[in-house]
């Protein structure tokens, strides 16, 4: 008797700069499909925060890599459409992790090769049935090079700053738009110019510019990239998940 081949768990990767809408779009795509979601940026942010809590020098590659290996990171999926809580070493760090200071610390430690190596398997372990939507900078190039669908999501720097500003304001964090724009441009520059796993589209990624598009239009574009059989499953799941 011939056995049916075991199909690999499908993965959609959504990479792009900060504020491109990756997080929101990835969460919605995952929800529509009934798939798991990996926010890889939250992992780098969590390690940056844990290192700061422990007084680890962020420039000391071996010390930060050791910190990455011992930091416990847990995502607690909230209710319908809610952002998941992120627990770092059992403390709820959701709010702190969204601050631009945490983004900058994440970007600094993310440039260290030993830190990226320490976090690679942890990210790959999120791949489980029925599928995974993973967002970050190197999901399509390094972490899941054989992903089913790869998207590179962009938006103008001004639009990205405006979105982050609104996001932070909604959370009661007061920052100036001009200051935020400067920080975002500096962070993108560092993420794109680092030697290891820089922010760049995979050769087989589809680029989508979200500057002037409603979120749901982008979600539909991403879903339309899926092969027919997976899309059919999505349709069946959307009946359950909407």
Instruction: Give me the residues that bind ligand DC (CB under 6 A), please.
Output: 18, 40-41, 44-45, 103, 106-107, 110, 136-139, 187, 191
CB of 213 to ligand DC, least distance (A): 19
Of all residues in the shown chain, the one whose CB is closest to ligand DC is 41
CB of 135 to ligand DC, least distance (A): 7
Residue number with CB closer to ligand DC (10 or 103): 103
CB of 138 to ligand DC, least distance (A): 5
Pick from 216, 11, 229: which is nearest to 131 by CA?
A: 11
Residue number with CB closer to ligand DC (139 or 219): 139
CB of 66 to ligand DC, least distance (A): 19
Q: What are the tokens at 181?
A: 């724009």
Contact 30, 169 (CB under 8 A): no
Residue number with CB closer to ligand DC (28 or 234): 28
Long-range pairs for 67-76: beta carbons < 8 A, 24 or more residues apart:
68/109, 68/115, 68/118, 68/119, 69/118, 71/46, 71/47, 73/42, 73/43, 73/46, 73/47, 73/122, 75/39, 75/42
CB of 33 to ligand DC, least distance (A): 21
Residue number with CB closer to ligand DC (50 or 106): 106
Pick from 167, 143, 191: which is nearest to 14 by CA?
A: 143
Nearest-angstrom CA–CA distance, 116 and 157? 26
Residue number with CB closer to ligand DC (110 or 234): 110
């Amino acid at each position: 008797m011939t056995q049916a081949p075991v199909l690999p768990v499908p993965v959609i990767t959504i990479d792009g700069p900060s504020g491109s809408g990756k997080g929101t779009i990835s969460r919605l795509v995952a929800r529509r499909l009934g798939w798991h979601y990996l926010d890889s940026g939250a992992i780098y942010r969590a390690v940056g925060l844990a290192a700061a809590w422990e007084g680890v020098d962020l420039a000391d590659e071996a010390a930060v890599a050791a910190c990455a290996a011992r930091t416990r990171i847990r995502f607690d999926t909230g209710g319908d459409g809610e952002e998941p809580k992120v627990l770092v070493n059992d403390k709820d760090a959701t709010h702190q992790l969204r601050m631009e200071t945490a983004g900058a610390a994440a970007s600094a430690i993310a440039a260290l090769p030993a830190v990226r190596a320490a976090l690679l398997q942890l990210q790959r372990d999120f791949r489980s049935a029925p599928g995974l939507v993973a967002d970050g900078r190197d999901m399509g190039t390094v972490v899941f090079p054989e992903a089913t669908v790869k998207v590179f999501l962009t938006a103008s720097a001004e639009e990205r700053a405006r979105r982050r500003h609104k996001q932070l304001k909604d959370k009661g964090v007061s920052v100036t738009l001009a200051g935020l724009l400067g920080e975002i441009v500096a962070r993108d520059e560092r993420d794109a110019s680092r030697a290891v796993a820089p922010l760049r589209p995979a050769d087989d990624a589809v680029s989508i510019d979200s500057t002037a598009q409603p979120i749901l239009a982008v979600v539909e574009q991403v879903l339309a990239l899926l092969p027919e059989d997976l899309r059919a499953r999505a349709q069946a799941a959307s009946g359950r998940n909407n």
